[in-house]
Amino acid sequence: MAKPATQRPRVPSVGRLGLVEPTAPADLARLGWDTDAHVELLWSLSRAPDADAALQTIVRLAEALDGDWHQLNTALLKDRGLRGRLFAVLGSSLALGDHLVANPRSWHLLEGAVTLPNPAQLRRLFDECVADSGPSAATVMPRLRTLYRDQLLILAALDVAPTVENEPVLAFSTIGEHLADMADAALDATLKVASASVCKEGEASPRIAVIAMGKCGARELNYVSDVDVIFVGENADPVTTRVAGELMRLASDTFFEVDAALRPEGKQGALVRTLDSHVAYYQRWAKTWEFQALLKARPAVGDRELGEQYIAALMPMVWTACEREDFVPEVQAMRRRVVALVPAEVRDREIKLGTGGLRDVEFAVQLLQLVHGRTDESLHVASTVDALAALSSGGYVGRDDAANLTASYEFLRLLEHRLQLQRLKRTHLLPAPDDDEALRWLARAAHMRPDGTHDTLGVLREELKRQHLRVSRLHAKLFYQPLLESVGPSVGFAPGMTPAAAERQLAALGYEGPQSALTHLGALVNQSGRRGRVQSVLLPRLLDWLSDTPDPDSGLLAYRRVSDALSEQRWYLATLRDESAVAKRLMRVLGTSAFVPELLMRAPEVVQQYADGPGGPKLLDVDPDAVARALIASTARHPDPVRAIAAARTLRRRELARVASADLLGMLEVRDVCAALTSVWVAVLQSALEAVIRANTPADGGAPARLAVIGMGRLGGGELGYGSDADVLFVCEPVEGADESRAVKWSGLIAEQVRTLLGTPSADPP
């Protein structure tokens, strides 16, 4: 009997399932999944991050299983957990799909109650593989590779299963720790193979410790990461070195890239050193970044006793690294290098190195550990998340800030994991902004869902903006908010750090007079009412910008003085709060020049010109010729020469502040600076001359002579600098019918009065 026209078939169409490949209907029919019995299974498939990829891999897997396909097919119908794990991993990772097709019986690893093996169980699995395969590298390494990929398959399937079915969510820390445990097990097995390959039969293997560094050392490893190592040998002899080299070669060919570039002297240094040699190097030659790298050092495999001796000998040096004379410039140089590493065209897509990315969080956390770890052993932890928790508990970072930064960090790491899992390639790059298909896959793989306002893709885009902005904002607060709490009222935060800790942190951030800096901070944040509250909000970001200037100490003092001078100007703090370009440019100027802050205190309106207008920076909107005309016109309104000169100085001061600010901010070429300075000086001379002539010309008669001022030197050449004298000659010519001696005497009087008025001491530059 025909179905009523209004009755919808139970089996959903490929369109409703989100399958867009033309082969999808035929693939479902080939698998026998186009029946009512498979409806629940089909809806599970539709929730895979890439349902088409999952279906196509299932078809290939069915072909590889051949007669055993019915066993998997039956299990998928009955086992919701298996469906979630298998469909999710096949829709997330093309590379693991290929592995499963090449090793089809590995699907059994995903059925039933799947749990992650602990570190001891992992090592036992890898050791048994070596024992069963024999010592030959050619035989055992392919089997170890298959075992490693099988374990990766289990972890990835458990990780992504919640995108398809209601499965438990693995904690971020669990994934990084398990990947590090897998790396340890793989390296341990490879070390046994390498030793057997290098050492003759009956010859004892050399004592060697493999120290894990970086993310592996901190047990926060990615799905695809270089595994950074340092080798410590009882002897640094050729045999030990060959074993280390063979381990690197075998492991890099089989599992992941093994990198020993963090060793003393980098790639130019010996691959293996004795413990004494390591200690001597770090005592005499190591740079600050090398101590920073040691924060994550961990004995991973090999001789345990030797590895622990290495840690015990070197870690005390790590916690005194901030006392080194070159600590601050090296830290600042490292930050600049990180930024410079990212090509401008992909900066917005870089999860790791871009602004508001993972490296911002990791760098800030490690610096705070180095600064305060000398006196606080609770900070002696390796992972970024654990370190943030310890910094929060110690009062070095606000509780809410630490929680928010941890959430942002884990979100960005989640995206990094999903991107790497797709093809098991090392990457930190988001898809291009116009690649909607790739971004939609990433959103689904990260378990994002429409929120009523945006679809899945829109949710991802909004979340990326929010997280990058939050990391950028908190990056500055991480360093400076606890400092402010140590000198001012704390609202909603953990108690601020001690004064001694605050001074250490300021010194590490480039302040040579940390006690004075704390005094200035206290004066700023403890102002009454609105001003103190706004300063508390502004200062973390302002201090971050100041720390990148040549003289942050003088810059902070100048900021305090400018803020005091403009305390009654309501627009001042509001502008700094609402227009970050103004605040950032002001900090650059204050931390670079002792000359300009004095001008700004007497010409505060120039600060408003630090903003951007429709055509670019407002500092460049001014025409020097128009300034000169305005200056001359303004002084012409004053019959008293003293008041006229005062008006001229006011306008010149404003123009000097504008030109000097634009100059310091790199907005003007040198020739433009010289031209503007010359123009305003010529206008001042013209105004002074006219004012004095007006005051000395009889009301019933004209001036007895005409006067001209001839510019000499740099003034004449139109290349005045900020501190240049205005070298001039006065030339007079008696008017027709005037007595020459009287005209010359009058002209001399005029010239002397001009010189005296312009030379009168004042707070303005000469």
Write out pLDDT tens, residues 623-644. 888 888 888 888 888 888 888 8
Q: Do 274 and 242 touch, CB atoms closer than 8 A? A: no
Helix axes 358-372, 499-508, angle to 10 degrees: 130
The average confidence (pLDDT) of the chain is 90
Report the run of H or E that residue 617 belongs to, with start and end: strand 616-617
* pLDDT value for 507: 82
* Residue 154 CB partners (closer than 8 Å, separation 6+): 109, 110, 114, 116
* pLDDT value for 538: 87
Average pLDDT over residues 699-703: 76
What would the two tokens of residue 34 be?
């186009």
Q: Which residues of 426-456 are buried (b: 16+ CB within 10 A; e: fewer)?
A: eebebeeeeeeeebbbbbbbbbbeeeeeeeb
Q: How confident is the model at residue 9 (pLDDT cuts 50, 70, 90)?
A: low
* pLDDT value for 486: 64
Is the pLDDT assigned to residue 357 strictly greater than 80?
Answer: yes
* pLDDT value for 494: 41
What would the two tokens of residue 160 be?
């992504």
* pLDDT value for 488: 55
> CA 216 to CA 220: how far, in whole Å?
6
* pLDDT value for 639: 84
Query: What pLDDT, in 10s, does the model give residues 548-559?
Result: 888 999 999 999
Q: How confident is the model at residue 238 (pLDDT cuts 50, 70, 90)?
A: very high
As a 3-state breakdown, the chain gives helix, strand, coil percent values, each rounded to 5, of 65, 5, 30
Identify residue 436 by its one-letter amino acid code. Answer: D
Is the pLDDT assigned to residue 459 strictly greater than 80?
Answer: yes
Look at strands 208-212 and 227-233 and give their pairing: antiparallel
Is the pLDDT assigned to residue 359 strictly greater than 60?
Answer: yes
Handedness of CA 453, 455, 456, 458 (dihedral sign): negative
What φ, ψ does residue 554 adopt, rounded to 5°?
A: -65, -35
* pLDDT value for 696: 87
In whole angstroms, how far apart are CA 264 and each of 71, 208, 244, 275, 352?
Answer: 55, 16, 15, 12, 25
Is the pLDDT assigned to residue 5 strictly greater than 70?
Answer: no
Report the 10 Å Cβ neighbour count for 276. 10
* Residue 698 CB partners (closer than 8 Å, separation 6+): none
What would the two tokens of residue 381 be?
């932890």
Average pLDDT over residues 536-551: 87
Range(s) within the chain of domains with CATH label 1.20.120.330: 327-491
Weakest-pLDDT range from 65-79, 196-210, 335-349, 673-687: 335-349
Average pLDDT over residues 126-152: 94
Three-point CA angle 111, 112, 113, nearest 5°: 125
DSSP-derived letter for residue 350 is B
Handedness of CA 623, 628, 633, 639 (dihedral sign): positive
Average pLDDT over residues 533-558: 89
> CA 521 to CA 535: how far, in whole Å?
9
* pLDDT value for 328: 67
Average pLDDT over residues 131-152: 93
% of the chain exceeding 90 in pLDDT:
59
* pLDDT value for 491: 36
Q: Which CATH architecture has domain 623-759?
A: 2-Layer Sandwich (3.30)
Weakest-pLDDT range from 29-38, 113-122, 376-385, 506-515: 506-515
Q: Do 204 and 276 touch, CB atoms closer than 8 A? A: no
Weakest-pLDDT range from 332-346, 439-453, 518-532, 593-607: 332-346
Range(s) within the chain of domains with CATH label 3.30.460.10: 171-318, 623-759
Mean pLDDT: which of 209-223, 331-345, 570-584 is highest? 209-223
Return the higher-pLDDT residue of 531 and 259.
Answer: 259
- pTM for the structure as a whole: 0.79
Return the higher-pLDDT residue of 237 and 357.
Answer: 237
* pLDDT value for 693: 85
* pLDDT value for 721: 86
Instruction: Give domain 171-318's CATH superfamily.
Output: Beta Polymerase, domain 2 (3.30.460.10)
Is the pLDDT assigned to residue 326 strictly greater than 80?
Answer: no
Report the run of H or E that residue 587 belongs to, with start and end: helix 580-590
Q: How confident is the model at residue 490 (pLDDT cuts 50, 70, 90)?
A: very low
Three-point CA angle 311, 315, 316, nearest 5°: 135
Return the higher-pLDDT residue of 326 and 266.
Answer: 266
Q: How confident is the model at residue 485 (pLDDT cuts 50, 70, 90)?
A: low
* pLDDT value for 395: 85
- Local structure of 223: helix, strand or coil: coil
Pick the CATH number of 327-491 from 1.20.120.330, 3.90.400.10, 3.60.70.12, 3.40.50.150: 1.20.120.330
Handedness of CA 288, 289, 292, 298 (dihedral sign): negative
**Length of the chain as a residue count:** 766
